[in-house]
Structure 1
Amino acid sequence: MEQNNSKNDKRLNELISTYEELSQQGAVVHLEETEYLEIVQYYQNQNMLDEALEVISLAIHQNSYSPQLFMRKAELLLTKGYASTALDFLDRAELLDPADVHIKMTKIEVMIEQGQQHTALSMIACLEPLIEKPLLSHLHFLKAEAFEAQRAYKKMFRALAESVRINPDNQNAIKKLWLAAELSGCFQESAQLHQKLLDLRPYSSIAWYNLGNAYLKLDNLIDAEIAFEYAFITNKHFEDAYRDCAEVRILMNNYQGALDCYEDMLALFKPEASLFVNIGYCYEKLEQFDFALTCYEKSFRYNCHYAHAFYRKGMCLWKLGNTVHAAVAIEQALEIQKNNELYTATLAELYCIIGQTEKADDLYYAATGLRPDESEPWIKYVRFLLDKQRFEDASELMREAEMYVQDAEIFYAKAVCFFLTNNKKDALRLLKKALKKEEDLYTMTFHLYPALKNETEWLLAISTHLLDGKEPRG
């Protein structure tokens, strides 16, 4: 075998030398079609695409009736990004050999790339009854590509499912299935499909990974963890499978199990800042704060501008009671990511604790501007204002908040503010509105202003609503 390879290499080298020597001399080169194609392949392998195109053009000039040569030139043009010109050569190839399926399928790929999805799908429909299984699987994959471009994601998922049903070894289709499930929301269908696929191909790490993601979306954490485990058991270099398995274990509060995944990643893959932060977070949740801080410091060796590492360091220091240094760390995080609402609101809370009230006020308000359409930053700020007995400011803030958010939390908070500014009629009306929208959230009013537990009118309004909502006993 090695001797044959050596002979072939020698023959190819001699062929290349002969061609280049004749070309440099300006002599007319006459070679067999197969020899031209060998030279083209050689240049393409060397990433010498211009030279490859020059050779294929010469070959076509000498043999303008070869569909294979036109097809080969189209492929080279596609590699260089010249899709429109490539399509012209594919048309010429198809004229010479109208029955060639590969030419038609390449045309379909180009049309999808050029945004001609309707034409591509029409061609697929015509071609589908004419081709056999191995190519039929790829044809359904191309159909999925066209549907993806049209944003018809459920059709995309079904086309990929059919592609895999026809050929369980179509790796391109299997790899794209999870994206299709994510875009279409077909998580239950994805789980069922991958279960069947794994009955046929139990060592398919991608199928296990896709199954894990489907279970995760279905909130089936136990089976998601198992599927991700099998994904990296069947492929020990599957980095995303380790990472996602660790994240599932964190959701299950299994921080030691997550650490096991992260330790495997440290042993198998190049370390990066985010990995050390994830390890630190697990130690933090296990209340091993010194180990956590060590991991956060290690992360800076790999990325000294990693904002999330500074944030987690700050949170860890806060848990240790070191609020001043915690604030410094969060300041560093916010310096790197200036418009991060989480960092802004966290630093505001720390400033409040260490007595920097004006800075806290500025940051709480800044946080509302970063996510104005969500209630959380507004609620944090109004709680701060109520703690400072700034009831009028709190009422004004809730009026502003209501311009962006119309949810129960804002109604409850606005009701509290109105009640504390002696606008009790409107306050109780708003309270009833909030109770009708989401009655289970009424306890948040006592978190906003604990003294409301002693306000008879407030308690009566809540209890009346709750009693009215109960069915009478027969």
Structure 2
Amino acid sequence: MKFNHEEFEDQNFSISRYERMLRSNDIRFFDSDEFESIIHHYLENGKIAKAKKAISLGLSQHPSSVNLKLLEVEVMIFEDRLDKADHLLAKLHAIEPENEEIYIQKANILSKKNKHHKAIELLNIALTYTTDEADVYSLIGMEYLFMDDFENAKTCFMKCLEMDNDDYSALYNIIYCFDFLEQHQEAINYLNLFLDANPYSEVAWHQVGKQYFDLKEYKKALAAFDFAIISDEYFVGAYLEKGKVLEKLKKYNEAIENYKITLELDDPTSFALLRMGKCYERLGCQDLAIQHYSKTVHEDPLLDKGWIAITDFYLKKRNYQKALYYINKAIGIDSENVLYWKRYAKINNRLAFFEEAERGYRRALELGNYELDTWLNRTDILRFIGENDAAIQNMHQAIEFYPENAEVQFRLAGMHYEKQEFNQGEFHLRKALHLDKEYSIILEELFENVYQLSLVQNIIKQY
């Protein structure tokens, strides 16, 4: 531990000395290891321009340094200068054919070209030269993930974890693979084996709890999260997940207590505030519910669930003016959110602001919300405000998504008959009756005059 601390101090000293040199424009000598440390620092912090400057200076002082040239390759790959990177790697391979980093960077280039199988072949060669097998297995695992080969990816990440029990990145990747394969019980079995050797791994207990949650085994999930908290009483994630389980068990007061703990341990999160609001609402504590919903959107104005929670709260109370106020604020922040526009339409419809309601449904459709009720509601509003041609056009567009839907066909039949387009009306009426005669009530309720026509009644009697 002392060595790591000293190493950290040395790195900070090198960086400070290097940056003083840049400010003074007085070139000083740094050994190649110092330059590597400085370049890694800039790369890890996303300061690519500074990293390139350091590489240039480093190579001017150490022109034969393979490691500095490999860092140059890394930057080239980041900037998609793949041919130049490949050319430089070929030269470096001739100098150091057993340098695993050369194979790793070659694999990186192939991966960027979506040649993942070939990348894995090179990484397997790197395995024969490396002293850090876990790092290379992790890279191989990522290549398998790119190919959606979750079984092989899982095996690679398991090898990483075997080499380092504290490699939680590998553990999370293993669980990701289990989750994608929907192997929840298998994931639990694996985690239990891991816990046999590492009984106080709060991350593993946390993951066990999440697997039981997905299986809806809430009492087992609760026990797992309790063990995670015993292993680390400051583990915020475990309290959040425990709160979710307690909500499922309808223990809302206990859920609130767990969410409160997260607020004490860390900065307030919009998720915890939102869940507390939901719990208070279910307990009938209306003032506390709205208070926490308001805190949620203040904490994270981009969280749509917060705005939706406030809007729905007032919708349930039939306080449409306040619901409209909040959904307008939400749209002002994110005008591309379909969920906002659907609520905007619904609220304006309730307030009898039909043109605004139509606009809401139209925007929802424009944003890709093709649910049947969106098409139907917009059509009914267009008819109500006298836009009959637009209503017909809307239903014809809906047919592209719902060609065999009786509700669409009955509406089209009714609207065409209203325009005295009898052939088209009959076509859609017969299709609708063939699909589901029960929905003829749509004609009876929405198109009463059409329904009473003798020619329409005669057709209905045939089915």
Q: State the TM bucket, normalised to the shorter chain.
A: 0.5 to 0.7
Q: Which residue of 2 aligns with 1:204?
A: 201
Match of 2:67 among 54, 64, 71: 71
Give the Cα separation in 1 of the matches to 2:26 and 2:366: 72
Q: Is the 8 A contact 1:419 1:428 kept in 2?
A: no
Give the Cα separation in 2 of the matches to 1:159 and 1:2: 32
Q: Which residue of 2 aligns with 1:411?
A: 406
Q: Is the 8 A contact 2:341 2:361 kept in 1?
A: yes
CA deviation vs aligned residue, 1:61-98 (integer Å, no higher than 9, x gap) = 5xxxxxxx413542465368478566666555554554
Q: Larger deviation: 186-195 or 410-419?
A: 410-419
Q: Which residue of 2 aligns with 1:340?
A: 337
CA deviation vs aligned residue, 1:269-328 (integer Å, no higher than 9, x gap) = 222555433322322232211111222333454456766544332322333342322222
Q: Which runs of 5+ in 2 are unaligned?
A: 43-49, 419-424, 452-463
Q: Which residue of 2 aligns with 1:378?
A: 375
Mapped pair 1:118 → 2:117: yes
Q: Larger deviation: 380-389 or 108-117?
A: 380-389
Mapped pair 1:328 → 2:325: yes
Aligned AA for 2:360? L
CA deviation vs aligned residue, 1:235-290 (integer Å, no higher than 9, x gap) = 45554444444445445544434423321221122225554333223222322111
Match of 2:61 among 58, 61, 65: 58
Show the 5 A alignment for 1:28-427. Answer: 36-40=31-35, 43-44=38-39, 47=42, 49=51, 50-51=53-54, 54-55=57-58, 58-61=61-64, 69-75=65-71, 78=74, 81=78, 91=90, 94-101=93-100, 104-105=103-104, 107-109=106-108, 111-112=110-111, 115-126=114-125, 130=128, 135-165=132-162, 167-181=164-178, 183=180, 185-231=182-228, 233-251=230-248, 253-273=250-270, 275-299=272-296, 301-302=298-299, 308-381=305-378, 398-405=395-402, 410-411=405-406, 414=409
Q: Larger deviation: 416-425 or 146-155?
A: 416-425
Aligned AA for 1:194? L
Aligned AA for 1:58? Q
Give the Cα separation in 1 of the matches to 2:177 and 2:170: 10
1:212, distance to aligned residue in structure 2 (A): 4.1
Q: Which residue of 2 aligns with 1:464?
A: none
Give the Cα separation in 2 of the matches to 1:335 and 1:25: 53
Q: Is the 8 A contact 2:398 2:408 kept in 1?
A: no
SS in 1 for 2:274: helix
Give the Cα separation in 2 of the matches to 1:406 and 1:186: 37
Aligned AA for 2:117? H
Aligned AA for 2:123? I
Give the Cα separation in 2 of the matches to 1:161 and 1:2: 30
Give the Cα separation in 2 of the matches to 1:373 and 1:170: 44
Give the Cα separation in 2 of the matches to 1:88 and 1:258: 59
Aligned identity (percent) is 17
Q: Larger deviation: 304-313 or 274-283?
A: 304-313
Summarize the Cα distance change of 1:363–1:52 in structure 2 as closer, same or farther, 3 Å threshold.
Answer: closer
1:401, distance to aligned residue in structure 2 (A): 2.0
Q: Is the 8 A contact 2:213 2:221 kept in 1?
A: yes
1:231, distance to aligned residue in structure 2 (A): 4.4
Give the Cα separation in 2 of the matches to 1:430 and 1:95: 75
1:183, distance to aligned residue in structure 2 (A): 5.0
Summarize the Cα distance change of 1:374–1:194 in structure 2 as closer, same or farther, 3 Å threshold.
Answer: farther
SS in 1 for 2:401: coil
1:151, distance to aligned residue in structure 2 (A): 4.3
Aligned AA for 2:74? L
Give the Cα separation in 1 of the matches to 2:277 and 2:26: 68
Give the Cα separation in 1 of the matches to 2:389 and 2:92: 78
Q: Larger deviation: 260-269 or 173-182?
A: 173-182
Give the Cα separation in 2 of the matches to 1:305 and 1:121: 40
Q: Which residue of 1 aligns with 2:422?
A: none
Aligned AA for 1:74? L
| TM-score (norm: length of structure 1) | 0.66
Summarize the Cα distance change of 1:416–1:231 in structure 2 as closer, same or farther, 3 Å threshold.
Answer: farther
Q: Is the 8 A contact 1:209 1:227 kept in 2?
A: yes
Q: Is the 8 A contact 2:409 2:431 kept in 1?
A: no
Aligned AA for 1:411? A
Q: Is the 8 A contact 1:70 1:92 kept in 2?
A: no
1:122, distance to aligned residue in structure 2 (A): 1.7
Give the Cα separation in 1 of the matches to 2:247 and 2:256: 9
1:209, distance to aligned residue in structure 2 (A): 3.9
Q: Number of residues paired by the alignment? A: 422
Summarize the Cα distance change of 1:248–1:413 in structure 2 as closer, same or farther, 3 Å threshold.
Answer: farther
RMSD (Å), alpha carbons: 5.2
| TM-score (norm: length of structure 2) | 0.68
Aligned AA for 1:266? L
1:366, distance to aligned residue in structure 2 (A): 4.0
Q: Is the 8 A contact 2:320 2:347 kept in 1?
A: yes
Q: Which runs of 5+ in 1 are unaligned?
A: 30-34, 62-68, 436-441, 456-474
Aligned AA for 1:54? L
Summarize the Cα distance change of 1:115–1:340 in structure 2 as closer, same or farther, 3 Å threshold.
Answer: closer
Give the Cα separation in 2 of the matches to 1:413 and 1:26: 77
